[in-house]
Amino acid sequence: MPLSSNSNNSRFQTRDVITLSGGHAVHDTYSGFLPPLLPIFIQTLSLSKTEASLLMVVRQAPSVFQPIIGHQADRLNLRSLVILGPAITGIAMSLLGIAHGYLSLVALLLITGFSSAAFHAVGPAMAGTLSGSNLGRGMGIWMLCGELGRTLGPILIVSVIGLWGIAGMTYLIPAGVVASLILLLRMRSVASRVISAYKALTWQAALKRMAPVMVPLSGIVFVRAFMMASLTAFLPTFLTEEGASLWLSGASLSVLEGAGIGGALIGGWVSDRWGRKQILGFSMIATPLLLFVFLETQGWALFPILIILGFVALSTGPVVMAMVQESCPENRAFANGLYMGAGFVLRGVAMLLLGIMADAYGLRRAFEISAILMLLGVVLVFRIPGRSP
């Protein structure tokens, strides 16, 4: 990312990191709309769980282009992709409420997917560069704001639908446009002030540099994807099938994501001091065990479990992103884009398999299988170079 000489030192550039992360919060608020909408689409369009999971896959499909976007961002000024992201995503997601038919949903989600892919390929690399030597802290703030958005999204969308019906989603368009205008005004000088402290490698050399970290991380992302799809994409659907109201189901997702705000911030901060592998290993063990507890819990007792579960499960986001960027500091955006793109492919496969399992055996059994897979994936943490957890 052609970003400023100011980033050549270790100073944490607070204002710029917070501004970027604020845009992330608004962007991901819109991204949080889809899971609470799935029960509505399943009912009104008579969708199977597999078809519903395909909507999630379609939204993430453009992520396969993130390595290309990231590679270009290490050489060109692609600041505009970050600035426009909240507006484009906000408009497309808000129009889901007046979409006619499955294909219309697919088209709008593809637009959202391309906007999100570009935003998330460039944004974290910019935030990481602006964080200086405090990469875990910077990624923690970035992820915290993303979790804040994903926390507000579900509760916001079910509240809007409750007040004005699903067509009332269009009233939410202006917020994304305003966020993009603020990014334009506040971040217009960042790309000219912040340049990489390293000379970018060729993509072939970058791949070779990253391979020892990316191979085991890819396995971790895959087994973790089953768990995260269970907790985020299908949590409202699961609770609705268990008899909860749409509002309560959406609120449960907000509780989970809200707890993840603290997990993201503290996970990144602690990993700067105690080690990234230690935090990742702990989460890989604790998260599936907590999911088993959640599945055996009923009523209001669900909420304390969801708080702990969200905190632990989502604490690893900034940790993994820091590990990826540290694996190739010369090509931060490419490294981040490669991770995000590979993550989509792996998460997409996991999402489809989870939907198929849910259709065949029910969501409860699919959740249990997801927990077992994540526990088995703990051995991959030991394959990451560096100190063992």
H or E segment and range at residue 25: helix 14-31
Q: pTM of the predicted model, to two decimals?
A: 0.71
Of 318, 275, 326, nearest to 138 by C-alpha is 318
Can you list the alpha helix ranges (DSSP code H) found in 200-245?
Answer: 203-228, 235-241
Render each residue's pLDDT in the chain as its tens digit; 389 residues. 444 444 445 678 888 889 999 999 999 999 989 988 998 999 999 998 889 889 988 998 888 888 888 777 766 677 888 999 999 999 999 999 999 899 999 999 999 999 999 998 888 878 877 877 777 778 888 888 987 898 899 889 999 999 999 999 999 999 999 999 999 988 776 653 344 445 566 777 878 888 888 889 889 988 998 888 888 778 888 988 888 887 888 788 888 888 888 887 788 788 888 888 999 999 999 999 999 999 998 877 888 999 999 999 988 888 888 888 788 777 777 787 788 778 777 887 888 888 899 999 999 999 999 999 999 999 999 998 865 44
Residues 358/226, Cβ–Cβ less than 8 Å: no
The alpha carbon of residue 121 and the mean position of all alpha carbons in its chain are separated, in whole angstroms, by 12
**Burial class (CB within 10 angstroms; exposed 0-12, middle 13-18, buried 19+) of 295:** middle
Total residue count of the chain as it appears in this document: 389
Q: Are 135 and 128 in contact (CB under 8 A)?
A: yes
Task: Reduce the DSSP state of residue 299 to 3 states and report it.
Answer: helix
User: How many CA atoms, within 13 angstroms, populate the side-chain half-sphere of residue 172?
Assistant: 33
Q: Which amino acid is at 185?
A: L
Q: What end-to-end distance do the CA atoms of the chain give, in Å?
A: 32
> CB within 8 A of 243, min separation 6: which ones?
none
- Residues 6+ positions from 349 with CB-CB distance below 8 Å: 222, 225
Domains and CATH numbers, the chain: 6-383 (1.20.1250.20)
Per-residue CA distances from 372 to 124, 285, 291, 338 (Å):
31, 10, 10, 27
Instruction: Please state, in angstroms and rounded to a whole number, the distance separating the CA atoms of residues 221 and 320.
Output: 9
